[in-house]
Amino acid sequence: MARYGFIKTKDDVKFLILYAMGYLPEAADFETVLDVCTWCDDGFGWFEFKEAFDELVGTGHLTRAAGEGEARYTVSDKGREALLAFANRLPYTVRESAQRSALRVVRKARRDAVISAESEALEPDGFLVKMAIDQVFSLEMHAVSPEQAALLERTFKAHAEEIYQTILHAMTRDYDNPSQLEAQNP
C-alpha cells in the first residue's frame, strides 16, 4: 500500500518522535507518542514507528522514566542534542502538525486529570456514583445496577462540561418569572 506524506525514512520518523516529544510536558507512554505522531503525517505506519521508537530507546535518545506501572519515556540529553542539530530536517508542515497534535494531547490529559467519576457499592443494594470537576463542582447520584453506575461514569467523563453547563443553567434560571420560562422553553 502506497503511503503519502513527507516522512519517508526511518530517520525522519525518529526526528518526528523526538520533535513531538519535545512538546510534551512530562513522560509519555508509547501509545501517547504514537497518537501525537500519527496525526502529523501519513508517510509511515505502526511498524515503522515502533521500530524507530525502539531504536531511539536502544541508542539512549529516549529514556524510560523511573516508576512502576506502564513504561513512560522522555527525551534524553542525547536526544535533545540530536533534535537541536536536525530539527529543521522535518518539513515545516510536519513540525506544525506535531506541535498542534502534542498540544491536543496535553489539553486532553489536563482535562482528564480534573474530571473524576467513581462508583461504590452500597449496602444492601445499589451504587453511589461520585462525579466531579476539581474545584468547580461535584455531584453524587444513586444507581440501581453496576451497568447504570458505569453508564453514569462514562457519560460524565465524556461530557462533564456540558453536564455542568446544563445544571448551572437549570439552577440559575428564574422559575418565578413565567415570561422568562416561556422564552427559554419555546
- The pLDDT of residue 141 is 96
- List pLDDT tens digits, range 94-150: 889 989 999 999 998 899 999 999 999 998 889 999 999 998 999 999 999 999 999
Q: How far apart are CA 18 and CA 14, in angstroms?
A: 6
Residue 120 phi/psi, 5-degree rounding, is -135, 140
Q: What is the mean pLDDT of residues 157-179?
A: 88
For residue range 58-75, list pLDDT tens digits in order.
999 999 998 778 899 999
pLDDT at 44: 83
Query: Whole-angstrom Cα distance, residue 32 to residue 49?
Result: 12
pLDDT of residue 4: 67
Q: All domains of the chain, ordered by start, with CATH? A: 10-112 (1.10.10.10), 122-184 (no CATH)
Quote the pLDDT of residue 70: 87
The answer to which of 76-80, 145-149, 163-167, 182-186 has the lowest mean pLDDT is: 182-186
- What is the per-residue pLDDT across 42-51, written as a single tens digit (0 to 9) for each? 778 889 999 9
With a CB cutoff of 8 Å and minimum separation 6, the contacts of 66 are none
- Per-residue pLDDT at 55: 96
